[in-house]
Structure 1
Amino acid sequence: MSTTPNRRALVVGASRGLGLVLVDELARRGWRVVATTRESGGELLACADTRKGQVEVESLEMTSPRQLAALRERLERRPDGGRLDLLFVNAAIDRGDLPIGEVPTEMFTEVMVTNALSPLRALEALHGLVAPGGTVAVMSSEQGSISLNTEDGYELYKASKAALNQLMRSYATRHADDGHTKLLIDPGHNRTRLGGPDAPLSPKESIPAVVDVLEAQAGAPGLQFLDRHGETVPW
């Protein structure tokens, strides 16, 4: 990732929570950020108004391959060709704490499509915009670690994050020679709509540390699964 001025980032999934704070933190550090949302208005638009000239908002339903292709085409038409130093995909849903045997097929499909399939589709659609030496990152979770899964609960969410990690491993293997840094990031348990009101961290506490990791890992080879402190999370 370049340390020169005019660093450019695309954050997919930035309407609220971790993604929204990530956009604001990158802009605070001088990045120019394109941020996507499914919704018009809201906190992301307010962030763009505050960070005039540094944050732009694009509409995207990440689960739609058609919309991903259209976003790529819009970015490619820009004078800079849509060049990115960072592509960060942030998306996850949780549909409650059911044992897997009680999970309806429709719920299983929805969570897996949103949390595992769609982030990788986004990477495949957009990674060609990332400059040599740039970074491709996905928001994961310690909940996706198979070796750390020693407590009951949230079986579907855990499975979706483990699937995300495995798909990212396959992506990294297939694109081993593209010169991009590849990261799975565990931001910790945060007080968001997904994490709940009793989580120990706030995004404003955890995300600056996440951006520290993104910047420190610039140019690192291979795929890493790291927490917000830059420590390796076991697979």
Structure 2
Amino acid sequence: MTDHCGTALVVGASRTIGLGLTGEFLRRGWDVIGTVRGSRRTGLHDLADASAGRLTVESLEMTEPEQISALRDRLASRTLDLLFVNAAITRGDVPIGEVPTDMFTDVMVTNALSPMRVVDTLLPLVDPAGTVGVMSSDQGSISLNTEGGQDLYRASKSALNQLMRCYAAARAEDTRTYLLLDPGWVRTELGGFEADLAVEESVPGVAETIERHRGKRGLHFVDHEGQVVAW
């Protein structure tokens, strides 16, 4: 019998990495709350039906601040051992000089501002010894960017990394662990079909890395193999 590991909230859990990570946490003994956008049925609902009550589904459009606040209110009686924000978008490999303003805003709000709003709004629910994680990417690394391309996506992940660093630095006395996770190059709609890893190959490493960093307070930028990613 797997020991109970605590309660995890996975934001953006309806498909691909988010769905796979939710299933992996269930297998590892966590109770999980997973969010989906809108009200349509997803694979997360099927997973919940088979979870014997250990997975609950919540609706959240994280680009709407009032929905984040409403989720916090609905979960006010719960204590989270892990808050993990997975959602992100890309709009293709468009040279920065050709990126329309509305596209720039859309990607930045979804990939950088909205995850931080989720973290800030839901932080009071996270146990003082708990973990706050956000899905990043090695494409957010400035020092590793030697080839260019994917300008807007890279910029949004770099912005996310900087915002998490600001957030953690401003809370230097916080006993929680903060993680930026690079899942590797994964075959998803976002990662493309030429990527190195299947979802099933990435998510066990992501979950293992999260669990291994429990109690290691402060901010860590690491990949799915537990290796430090250069800023």
TM-score (norm 1): 0.95
Query: What's 1:134 paired with?
Result: 130
Query: What's 2:192 paired with?
Result: 196
Query: What's 2:69 paired with?
Result: 69
Shift of 1:174: 1.6
Query: What's 2:147 paired with?
Result: 151
Q: CA RMSD in A?
A: 1.2
1:109-153 CA distances to partner (integer Å, 9 max, x unpaired)? 000000000000000010110112100000000000000011131
Measured in 2, the distance between the counterparts of 1:19 and 1:103 equals: 28
Measured in 1, the distance between the counterparts of 2:139 and 2:18 equals: 18
Query: What's 1:22 paired with?
Result: 21
Measured in 1, the distance between the counterparts of 2:16 and 2:166 equals: 28
Q: Unaligned stretches of 5+ in structure 1? A: none
1:75-117 CA distances to partner (integer Å, 9 max, x unpaired)? 01xxxx2101000001110101111000000000000000000
**Residues paired across the two proteins, number:** 229
Query: What's 2:44 paired with?
Result: 44
Measured in 1, the distance between the counterparts of 2:189 and 2:81 equals: 29
**Residue type matched to 1:228 in 2?**
H
**Residue type matched to 1:124 in 2?**
D
**Residue type matched to 1:113 in 2?**
V
Secondary structure of 2:181's aligned partner:
strand
Matches within 5 A, 1:40-189: 40-76=40-76, 81-189=77-185
**Runs ≥4 in structure 1, deviation > 2 angstroms?**
3-6
1:144-193 CA distances to partner (integer Å, 9 max, x unpaired)? 00000111310000000000000000110122222100000000010111
**Residue type matched to 2:86 in 1?**
N
Measured in 1, the distance between the counterparts of 2:14 and 2:59 equals: 10
Q: Unaligned stretches of 5+ in structure 2? A: none
Is 2:213 the counterpart of 1:229?
no
Shift of 1:197: 1.3
Do the aligned partners of 2:174 and 2:217 also contact (CA within 8 Å) in 1?
Answer: no
Query: What's 1:210 paired with?
Result: 206
Do the aligned partners of 2:85 and 2:134 also contact (CA within 8 Å) in 1?
Answer: yes
